[in-house]
Amino acid sequence: MAKLFSHHDTFHVHAVLGVVALLHILYRFLCMLACGKDTFAPSLTSVALLGVHFLLHASSFQFVLPRHRMRSKPMIWPEFRMHSACFAYRNLTGALLAIFFPLWWWRGPLTVSSMVVRLALALTTCSAADLVTSKVGSRDARTTNAMPYPPNTPPHIQDTVKKFYAKCQFAATSLALFACPVVSFGPVFAIEIAPLLMTLVRKGIVGARCYHVVYSLSLILMFPLMLASTLQPELAMGTFRAGVATTVAVRCRMKLRLSKATSWCAAVVGAFFLPDVLLKISCLYVWLLAGTVWSVIDSVAPSLSHVLTKRGLAASGDEIVGAAEREGVEEPRAESSSIRAGCDEKDVDE
């Protein structure tokens, strides 16, 4: 535990904020998962506890970091730290809007003004992240797609994990824009656990494998949290709209390669109008199940493609070997001796 405290952290302010932040997240998640209650309320307590998370990221800038990221291990570097602050502030802002303006933001009928504010929040975050990348980062080795993996990790596993991470980033934005306070706040856990894990990697406490496992679990934890919110009628619609927005954004950005602005404009507008149309066709839970199944299949597509390709090649190889063996039986052995002249004894026997 002593390794987690640094003399660079004056009076251990950052460490104390981190502990309080984790306890706060644990409390909110347990209340939602165990009791189905969104415990946020328009009070000074909610503001103070969310303020802890704002201050946690602000206090992280006191630490001196290597100018360039380490390619061999997942460790904090300046671009990552600033991106974490941008993305955490996005969800914290969404949670505050959901707490203090529930009828206007997520519970009541959607309005043009709330649509404009949602677009502003999403696009401002994108612009801030792009500005950070242009100043201290790389447009090729992005935060997610260049993350180091454990040695000997197969490429198709890396592709699957990268795709899952990317889709979770879209979901985090959508939840900030449409979900109830606790679900909007939920992605902050993964955003804040990542730098903690990277700190543990830097101090030699854990390795790259542990980082990816724990970080993935922190992302997966959002699924039961979202499910718990859909079991409450007053919370379900916000989560459903966020799911629709995620689907549209992923389709526009990852499949059609549209710009960020176009993708999020389509996602926000789609989340305003599509849910009512979809609910006339089938119930909310059918769509949630279909969306979850689609998301899982789409995420594991690289691994499935690799397995199917490998089996196809193996089957083709067996057919070729079988054909060669049949031809060898029919042909005199003397005729094949010249072909096998360059092979060693083991090859001939096989």
Q: Are residues 187 and 45 located together in one domain of the fold?
A: yes
Lowest mean pLDDT among 29-43, 57-71, 177-191, 257-271: 57-71
Residue 202's contacts (CB-CB under 8 Å, 6 or more residues apart) are 73, 75, 76
Rg (CA), the chain: 25
Assess contact for 56 and 14: CB atoms under 8 A.
yes
pLDDT surpasses 60 at 331: no
| Predicted local confidence at residue 139, as pLDDT | 65
Confidence of residue 147 (pLDDT cuts 50, 70, 90): confident
| Predicted local confidence at residue 121, as pLDDT | 98
| Predicted local confidence at residue 68, as pLDDT | 78
Q: Are residues 333 and 246 located together in one domain of the fold?
A: no
pLDDT surpasses 70 at 342: no
Which structural domain, as residue segments, surrounds residue 16? Answer: 2-299
Please state the φ and ψ torsions of residue 240, each to the nearest 5 degrees: -65, -45
pLDDT surpasses 70 at 140: no
| Predicted local confidence at residue 47, as pLDDT | 98
Q: Are residues 266 and 150 located together in one domain of the fold?
A: yes
Mean pLDDT in residue range 165-184: 97
State the first-to-last Cα distance of the chain, in angstroms, to the nearest integer: 59
Assess contact for 178 and 241: CB atoms under 8 A.
yes
Mean pLDDT in residue range 265-279: 96
Percentage of residues of the chain with pLDDT beyond 70: 84
Q: Are residues 222 and 333 located together in one domain of the fold?
A: no
Which is more confidently placed, 69 or 218?
Answer: 218
Q: Are residues 256 and 333 located together in one domain of the fold?
A: no
- State how many domains the chain has: 2
Lowest mean pLDDT among 35-44, 287-296, 301-310, 312-321: 312-321
Q: Are residues 228 and 262 located together in one domain of the fold?
A: yes
Which is more confidently placed, 301 or 35?
Answer: 35
Q: Are residues 186 and 326 located together in one domain of the fold?
A: no
Q: Are residues 325 and 242 located together in one domain of the fold?
A: no
pLDDT digits (tens, 9 = 90+) for 13-56: 999 999 999 999 999 999 999 999 999 999 999 999 999 999 99
Q: Are residues 312 and 163 located together in one domain of the fold?
A: no
pLDDT digits (tens, 9 = 90+) for 185-229: 999 999 999 999 999 999 899 999 999 999 999 999 999 999 999
pLDDT surpasses 80 at 259: yes
Q: Give the CA dihedral 200, 204, 209, 210, nearest 10 degrees.
A: -40
Mean pLDDT in residue range 141-148: 71
